[in-house]
Amino acid sequence: MAQQRKLYIETYGCQMNVNDTEVIFSILARHGYARTERMDEADVIMANTCSVRDNAEQRIWGRIEVFNQQKKARPDVVIGILGCMAERLKDQLLETRKVDLVAGPDAYRSLPDMLAAVRPDSPQINVILSRDETYADISPVRTDRSGVSAFISIMRGCNNVCSYCVVPYTRGVERSRDPRTIVREACEVFANGYKEVTLLGQNVDSYLWKEEGLPDVTFADLLERVAQISPRLRVRFATSNPQDISDAVLETMARHDNICKHIHLPVQSGSDRILGKMRRRYTREWYLQRVARIRELMPGCGLTTDVIAGFCSETEEDHAQTLSLMEEVGFDTAFMFQYSERPGTIAARKYPDDVDPATKTRRLNEIIALQNRKSLESYRADVGKRFTVLVEGPSKRNPAELCGRASNNKMCVFPQRSSVPGNDGHLQGEGTLPCRMHSARQGVLSLHPAREGALALPPLKPGDYVEVEVVDCTSATLLARLV
């Protein structure tokens, strides 16, 4: 067999891109390409790109320069641009003469042939969008480090055409993937030791599989099937669209403990006038009703959102409505952006980008300040509560501690199980109830974490489930102890 070529891919953008990179590694592995994490030893250097905002694209232009420095030293290196920016800019990327290969999101099956055909005077491009490609038969090569949580794309594309958004142009029409291949993939990752799957789509609630002679499969049905694989497999999903999230989905979530109680529900704006111009097909009132229903069916359900500041014609009054909606809902966290005009979108064609940059920045800062306050409130409300956490690995801040998410998606940091009998000193001085007192009060020695250590319970490892009690927090992390 010919010597393996080394493939290096940088991934930008959303979780779907992360999963697409895993699909690309899988396709190219079958053709003799081995993954490397070192650009300086790679034969092929690629970026899987995002076009959602201008700064996402500017970053890629910078990376293309960096890739070309590699090519100066090693002229045989092949440089490829994949994903949404490849789709949007097409041969404009080749015209720079700094890129050898351009492939859009539906063209990854052709990568082996394209790479084989690349020559200095013959760059390759395939940006054809498909009506049916879902890469359903391809088992992605998992690139996450912990081996705990896997992404599974359940659909591709988007039919919504929100006026600000480039995604329908870069990813094409919406298509759902055969549910049997989704369940099979979830079973495979569970068998390989993963404990959590996140089902991905731009608008998961419009997932629909139709097949002659069989009943339609909706997103609620799909969730049910994946949840039934094992109570030890957690199920998450993103992204929900407020206009489409149904009671059936909420009821399915409520029925299954292993479907995590967290919904990412991008609101974008709190003003009906702006929502209308954005072509979001819901109103402020509808959004608030959906939130009320979520909280009624699942008290304590995590709720996060996306917000855009300074969309075309946004007034101070519209902006105030966004702030008041955020105040009213109290999201746990939010992704907050300044509006960035994307060429070719409906907004770019129809509406002037007329909120001046300084005003956009000021409004965004007000939105961020409000959200920081609400995040702290939301995290504080969990102090004293107990959660089951799925251990992901060492905490980033303090590698001696562990981190993992509660069902509501909040990150928890907590100590490793102590293996030295009586060594629970790390909990003291943090204003917490020392474990020793706790166990003495309970009068049950086996509940004592340190004693558990003494009974030689193994240290916690990624993929374990553990019970914790929250003792403190920041606005982004719950600080907890083992119970």
Should residue 268 be labelled a site residue for ligand SAH when binding is judged by CB under 6 A?
yes
What phi-psi label fits residue 459: left (phi over 0), alpha (psi between -120 and 50 degrees) or beta?
Answer: beta
Instruction: Give 3-state DSSP helix, strand, coil % of the chain, rounded to 5.
Output: 35, 25, 40
Provide the token pair at 218.
């909706």
Closest by CA to 88, choosing from 41, 51, 137, 44, is: 51
Q: Which is nearer to ligand F3S, 129 or 183 (CB)?
A: 129
Residue 168 binding target from ligand SF4, ligand F3S, ligand SAH, none, CB below 5 to 8 Å by type: ligand SF4
Q: Smallest gap, in angstroms, from Cβ of residue 48 to ligand SF4?
A: 17
Residue 342 binding target from ligand SAH, ligand F3S, ligand SF4, none, CB below 5 to 8 Å by type: ligand SAH
Binding letters toward ligand SF4, positions 236-255, x by CB under 6 A:
-----x--------------
Return the range that interacts with ligand SF4 (CB under 6 A); candidates 153-161, 209-217, 249-257, 445-453.
Answer: 153-161
Residue with tokens 């994307």: 342
Q: Which of residues 252-281 bind ligand F3S (CB under 6 A)?
A: none
Provide the token pair at 425.
């000193």
Taking the C-alpha atoms of residue 314 and residue 9, their distance in angstroms, rounded to an integer, is 39
Provide the token pair at 116.
């084989």
Should residue 160 be labelled a site residue for ligand SF4 when binding is judged by CB under 6 A?
yes
Taking the C-alpha atoms of residue 429 and residue 407, their distance in angstroms, rounded to an integer, is 28
Binding letters toward ligand F3S, positions 169-198, x by CB under 6 A:
-xx---------------------------
Should residue 266 be labelled a site residue for ligand SAH when binding is judged by CB under 6 A?
yes
Q: Which of residues 72-91 bind ligand F3S (CB under 6 A)?
A: 83-84
Taking the C-alpha atoms of residue 322 and residue 361, their distance in angstroms, rounded to an integer, is 15
Return the range that interacts with ligand F3S (CB under 6 A); candidates 162-170, 281-289, 305-313, 400-408.
Answer: 162-170
Residue 60 binding target from ligand F3S, ligand SAH, ligand SF4, none, CB below 5 to 8 Å by type: none
Should residue 156 be labelled a site residue for ligand SAH when binding is judged by CB under 6 A?
no
**Within 13 Å of residue 323, how many CA atoms lie on the same side as its CB?**
18
Should residue 24 be labelled a site residue for ligand F3S when binding is judged by CB under 6 A?
no
Choose, by CB under 6 A, the member of 124, 202, 305, 407 that binds ligand SF4.
202
Q: Smallest gap, in angstroms, from Cβ of residue 170 to ligand F3S?
A: 5
How does 328-360 read in b/e, with b if 16+ C-beta sit within 10 Å? Answer: ebebbbbebbbbbbbeebbbbeebebebeeebb
Q: Which is nearer to ligand SAH, 139 or 243 (CB)?
A: 243
Where do the DSSP E strands lie in 219-364? 234-238, 262-264, 302-309, 333-338
345, 348, 349, 350: CA torsion to nearest 10: 110
Provide the token pair at 328.
């009213």
Taking the C-alpha atoms of residue 328 and residue 349, their distance in angstroms, rounded to an integer, is 34
Should residue 52 be labelled a site residue for ligand SAH when binding is judged by CB under 6 A?
yes
Return the range that interacts with ligand SAH (CB under 6 A); candidates 219-227, 337-345, 367-375, 436-444.
Answer: 337-345
How does 202-215 read in b/e, with b if 16+ C-beta sit within 10 Å? Answer: bbbbbbebeeeeee
Phi/psi of residue 20, each to 5°?
Answer: -65, -40
Provide the token pair at 412.
């928890």
Choose, by CB under 6 A, the member of 9, 114, 127, 167 that binds ligand F3S.
167
Provide the token pair at 468.
């914790």
**Sequence-separated (6 or more) residues with CB below 8 Å from residue 385:** 469, 470
Q: Which of residues 287-306 bind ligand SAH (CB under 6 A)?
A: 306
Should residue 17 be labelled a site residue for ligand F3S when binding is judged by CB under 6 A?
yes
Binding residues for ligand SF4, rule: CB under 6 A, are: 158, 160-162, 165, 167-168, 202-203, 241
Binding residues for ligand SAH, rule: CB under 6 A, are: 52-53, 164-165, 167, 202-203, 239, 241, 266, 268, 306, 308, 337, 339-340, 342
Binding residues for ligand F3S, rule: CB under 6 A, are: 13-14, 16-17, 50-52, 83-84, 166-167, 170-171
